[in-house]
Amino acid sequence: MTDNKKEDQAKLLVNILQEYYKNNAEKVYMPEEFENREFGFSFFDGKFKRHISFHSFDDYKTFLIENVPKDVYYSIALYRNPSIDMQNKGWLGAELPFDLDAEQVLRTSDELLKRGWISSSQYQRIKELAINLIENFLEADFGLKSDDYLVSFSGSRGYHIRIKEKTYLGLDQKARRQIVEYVAIGPSINFPTHQSRFLPFAHDYGWNRKIFLWLKHIDSTAFSADEVALKILAKIKKLNKPSELVITNVERRAFENMFTKALSELTISIDERVTVDVNRLLRAPMTVHGGSGFLVKPLSKSSLEKFDPFVHASMPLNSYRRIIVKEIPFEVSINNETVSPSDQGKTIEVNSALAYYLVIRGGGNILE
């Protein structure tokens, strides 16, 4: 595609985004301490503007309608003066963010996924990991309640979770990195030397509880090739709590392998750079992710369990666009309309939200 044609397609996509913001500006999320947030915006011409703040929510909505950014971000940090240079903003604290990105959490380098083509089954797996992070780490280990964090679909490849609870706002980068290591790496196990018996779980909470329960409920076929491991599993299944487990010197190596396997299944790969960066900008909920056309959708835990981006994160548009369908890897359904690989080469009329998704992914061109 020539540069002129790319520019023409970009203008048509801007028109779709403008339609969304004109009719839905009231739905855009207003963060707490709004006036202390820095905002950032990217545009279809490649420009990125940040160090912007707004005195009122109305000013923010007007900016979106009049400027039609491709992507919208605001800071996890609170500042005294959010619109000036970074050194002089006056940092007041920052939410603790987690970014679950498809490529990282699924531990894959799938080429389609890198290009943004994420299937429903892949989205389902990412969602399961997000729920795992919330239930088994944020709530079970950190003691957080639903009001203490904000969950949002990122608009494309995964989920963002911001911990808003005040005790976390002042954490420095070292403390944030330790939290990443807790979630993404987990504990190590060190057997004391010159002891014939060992208690691997000193207490009954946190990682001890997670690993114990995983081993207690795992199918024994996972370790069918190791007789010692099978004996340990049989022993664990009879116990009620982690601190009751005793491992002998003979069982040491088998248990180390079991421990390592449990960690590989239970740890969650989160983006360390996002969690550690106390000045990070994250996508603003209920704005549009310009690289997909999906909404950055805020979610309660109950709505997260039922969430499907193709159903629940589409722009609610009433307009239609004629497109020429190019190659697409799988069937795509948005706003009750479907385009499939068999439509390649056809000219069809579809809802503007579906048109945007296909064009921005390289699966079609809009006809003027």
pLDDT mean values, one per 10 residues, the chain (368 residues): 82 97 96 98 97 97 98 99 97 98 76 85 93 97 97 96 97 98 93 81 95 95 91 95 94 94 95 97 98 98 95 97 96 96 97 98 93
> Does residue 109 sit in the same domain as residue 235?
no
Burial of 189 (0-12, 13-18, 19+ CB in 10 A): middle
> Does residue 165 sit in the same domain as residue 76?
yes
> Does residue 72 sit in the same domain as residue 127?
yes
Active site residue 99: yes
Catalytic residue among 8, 45, 99, 172: 99
pLDDT of residue 314: 98
pLDDT of residue 104: 75
Contact 296, 153 (CB under 8 A): yes
> Does residue 335 sit in the same domain as residue 205?
no
> Does residue 112 sit in the same domain as residue 252?
no
- CA 144 from centroid of its chain's CA atoms: 18
**Domain, as residue range, for 214:** 197-266
Active site residue 343: no
Contact 60, 39 (CB under 8 A): yes
Catalytic residue among 3, 8, 58, 101: 101
Percentages of the chain per state (helix, strand, coil), in multiples of 5? 45, 20, 35
pLDDT of residue 265: 94
> Does residue 215 sit in the same domain as residue 246?
yes
Q: How many domains does the chain have?
A: 3
Contact 359, 13 (CB under 8 A): yes
Query: CATH number for the domain including 86?
Result: 3.90.920.10
Contact 327, 363 (CB under 8 A): yes
> Does residue 29 sit in the same domain as residue 172?
yes
Contact 207, 127 (CB under 8 A): no
pLDDT of residue 153: 98
> Does residue 127 sit in the same domain as residue 163?
yes
pLDDT of residue 341: 96
Catalytic residue among 45, 58, 85, 271: 271
> Does residue 78 sit in the same domain as residue 128?
yes
> Does residue 298 sit in the same domain as residue 223?
no
Nearest to 146 by CA among 23, 263, 305: 305
pLDDT of residue 368: 76
First to last CA, the chain: 16
**2 lies in a domain?**
no
**1 lies in a domain?**
no
pLDDT of residue 283: 98
CA atoms within 13 A on the CB side of 61: 15
**189 lies in a domain?**
no
> Does residue 173 sit in the same domain as residue 274?
yes
pLDDT of residue 1: 63
